[in-house]
Structure 1
């Protein structure tokens, strides 16, 4: 089966400033949302939960953003000058990758057959002199539903794969090569992370691996004679990001159409002539922060991106 051509398609988003560049790429820029007031008054759990979920998403550096699904419980303890608040909340995964500039509460949640994740979190806040701040959050993230549960609900629906699945890794590598070969961007892009991976059986063609992956712009110009693999990613605020979906036909070993969405850099300031790009350290999954996060998770499922504890020990 021949691979179909590269395509970048727009996604319709309400209440966004839209700039169209490079033939059919839609870029969105979002205005900041003002903070919600959190008080020690009875019935203030909703505002506290909103602040808590925003804090979780601001510190979540991989995978997808989450939305509030339910406030399970809330506990207020009066202290001098204010109160301490402890919330138990349930979150649901959205379809917005963390590189997407859209606010988490404007993102759509995964449908059940798309195989998303959920999280149960304890969030602690301190309200002092009318100012609220999150002091701690701890979450348990898991597929929702699990593969076992989904086999009863919908036996023909896709099954979740570990994010480091060997076939998925091969498909992701081919997707990055295809992207750089067919893209007209100024720089090469490299894989930021595998965001989501499922497998599905198609009677006409056998098993198919479905990928969602995030790409990040590197320092290497397209005219560079060497491969893009060793190129250094630009700092997160200075890099263009793409979020792409594609399929890989396992039997034929063929990559399908690549459909991508572009997110512009937050910082578009041009550097003075001759000044090199700043260095921002390793990507998240190669960082000490990621290692500390993994060490503090209890029995993490390999098919989802887990919410890291805050603060990290």
Structure 2
């Protein structure tokens, strides 16, 4: 079915080589989406598949984390929310199931909680303001990701904090497993794959050339890359990527290279996807979502935009994350452990 759907999408994309379609949010806290509802992958090595209806684990739970073992799902959901809030790259995750839990009761009704959870990747990039429980999931043919996480929480009175988490993030199934199960499905490529990077570079140039937005946008990160072959169309690379607003006006005549990304809270963000036709060296129509800045207030007249440092992939946090991952996978955005032991380079 996916191969037929992919063929339809590719044929449509070939006929729709035009300006990027940007879907503005209905309000600063919501955005429109072109994605359709989907289900997580199922295989012998992956967590059980979830249905389109809400999991019984996620219903009728209190909103506050307590030391009541009957409400462990509330603690797990809180932990996942913290993971998503701390992410500076990749996609948000949603709780799939609580695999185990352990409570250490302390004096005065306080406790420490350890939960092991299975998470499924959503289609919401971390810049998307939509809550994770409203985000669509990747279908199996779209090559989404699962994660298993150990989360430690501390409950003191009515306040709960996440003190530590560590996750293993991986595609389910892997490319090797999928080759034997469904060879017609696309393969995941590393996020720094040369063909994928070439496609993204062309897509960013295309967006800035055709955009009507006030400022130029720079590449924030490559989010997802898959590759497959379609009869009569050849090899196709499917790319997802995130853009961030820069300080360069769209009318500027100087080159794009010196443009500096605005601080994340002050910048507009875009999440885009498209097809790249390898043999034709051509980028298809861009499908993009626009997310407004979290900070909407204007700077005083004459004040320059603040300098908030490098984007995540050029920051010390990125290198610390990469060094501390137990099982890094180059085709996905791994969940960084918390807390990160960041050592500033001299």
* TM-score of the aligned structures, taking structure 1 as reference length: 0.91
- Compute the RMSD of aligned alpha carbons: 1.5
Contact 1:63–1:98 (8 Å) recurs in 2: yes
| Matching residue of 2:89 | 62
- 1:29-61 superposed Cα distances (whole Å, 9 cap, x missing partner): 338xxx921111231211100110001001111
Q: Conserved in 2, the CA contact under 8 Å of 1:3 and 1:255?
A: no
1:167 and 2:195 equivalent?
Answer: yes
Matched residue, 1:40: 67
**Is the 1:237–1:266 contact (alpha carbons within 8 Å) kept by the matching residues of 2?**
yes
After TM superposition, give the deviation of residue 283 of structure 1 in Å.
0.2
Q: What is the alpha-carbon distance in structure 2 between the residues aligned to residue 244 and residue 271 of structure 1?
A: 29
Q: 2:246 aligned with 1:233, yes or no?
A: no
Deviations 1:289-312 (A, max 9, x none): 011000001231100001000111
Whether 2:123 is the aligned partner of 1:124: answer no
Q: Aligned partners of 1:9, 1:264: CA distance in 2, in Å?
A: 12
Give deviations 1:148-206, integer Å, cap 9, x for gaps.
12112221011100000001111111111100000011110000000000001011121
- Unaligned 5+ runs, structure 1: 11-24
Offset at residue 230 of structure 1 (A): 2.1
Describe the superposition over 1:229-285 as per-residue Cα deviations: whole angstroms up to 9, x where unpaired: 221000011111111111111111111111111001111111122110011110000
Give 1:29's aligned residue: 28
Unaligned runs of 5+ in 2: 1-13, 31-61, 342-346
Instruction: Specify the SS of the correspondent of 2:313.
Output: helix
* Aligned-partner Cα distance in 1 for 2:125–2:206: 21
Q: SS of 1:29's equivalent? A: coil
Q: Does 1:190 align with 2:218?
A: yes
Are the aligned partners of 2:20 and 2:210 in contact in 1 as well (CA < 8 Å)?
A: no
CA distance in 1, matches of 2:291, 2:255: 24
Q: Of 211, 228, 234, which residue of structure 2 is paired with 1:200? A: 228
1:1-313 alignment runs, 5 A limit: 4-8=17-21, 10=23, 25-30=24-29, 36-81=63-108, 82-313=110-341
Aligned twin of 2:40:
none
| Matched residue SS, 2:137 | coil
Distance 2:150 2:327 in 1: 17
Q: SS at 2:70's partner residue?
A: coil
Equivalent residue number for residue 6 of structure 2: none
What whole-Å deviation, never above 9, does each CA across 1:94-135 have from its counterpart, x for those lacking one?
Answer: 000001000011111111111010000000001112321111
* CA contact 2:168–2:327 (8 Å) conserved in 1: no
Aligned equivalents of 1:297, 1:227: Cα separation in 2: 37
* Equivalent residue, structure 2, for 1:20: none
Equivalenced residues, count: 296
Distance 1:27 1:218 in 2: 23
Instruction: Work out the CA distance in 2 between the residues paired with 1:68 and 1:230.
Output: 41
Structure (1/2) with the larger strand percentage:
1
C-alpha displacement at 1:212, in angstroms?
A: 0.3
TM-score (normalised: structure 2):
0.83
Question: Is the Cα contact below 8 Å between 2:152 and 2:164 reproduced in 1?
Answer: yes
Q: Which residue of 2 aligns with 1:21?
A: none
1:200 & 1:29 partners in 2: Cα distance?
37
SS at the partner of 1:307?
coil
